[in-house]
Amino acid sequence: MKTFKILPVLILTLLCFTAQAQSKMNKIPQDGVVVVEFNAGWNSSKNVTWLNKLKEAEVGRLLIDENPKFQSKYKIVVVPTLIVFKDGVEIQRFQANIMMDMEATLEDVQEGVDDAHMEGF
């Protein structure tokens, strides 16, 4: 009988942990250079796999189906979308094509990160 009481708690804990792990951010950091991938859980097969290879930038992923306020706030019209922020201000945006494939490369986004670091000099 105890198994039936523990099982729902374990399932609920697992679901909460999985949702938290998929959505890496719940707000955009306001300091430094940050690259955020806006995507949706139903589009996870199109995640940008090289995001963590970016240098000199904090990176994160926001799922707009779990955080709908970010979709409207940042005017996300296609997923995935990558946005480079510097001190909370959008510097550059990269959007997927009509097939929801990200055409921007690691080099393209790294150039955006480098430009963000140079801005203001």
Q: How confident is the model at residue 28 (pLDDT cuts 50, 70, 90)?
A: confident
- Find out whether 59 and 50 touch, Cβ atoms under 8 Å: no
**To which residue do tokens 């097969």 refer?**
45
- The predicted-structure confidence for 62-111, as pLDDT tens digits, reads as follows 999 999 999 999 999 999 999 999 999 999 999 999 999 999 999 999 99
- Name the residue with higher pLDDT: 39 or 23: 39
34 membership: H or E segment, kind and range: strand 33-39
Dist. CA 60–CA 70, nearest whole Å: 13
State pTM to two decimals. 0.78
Dist. CA 41–CA 27, nearest whole Å: 17
Residue 115 CA, distance from chain mean position: 20
How many CA atoms, within 13 angstroms, populate the side-chain half-sphere of residue 14?
A: 6
* Measured distance between the N- and C-terminal CA atoms of the chain, rounded to whole angstroms: 67
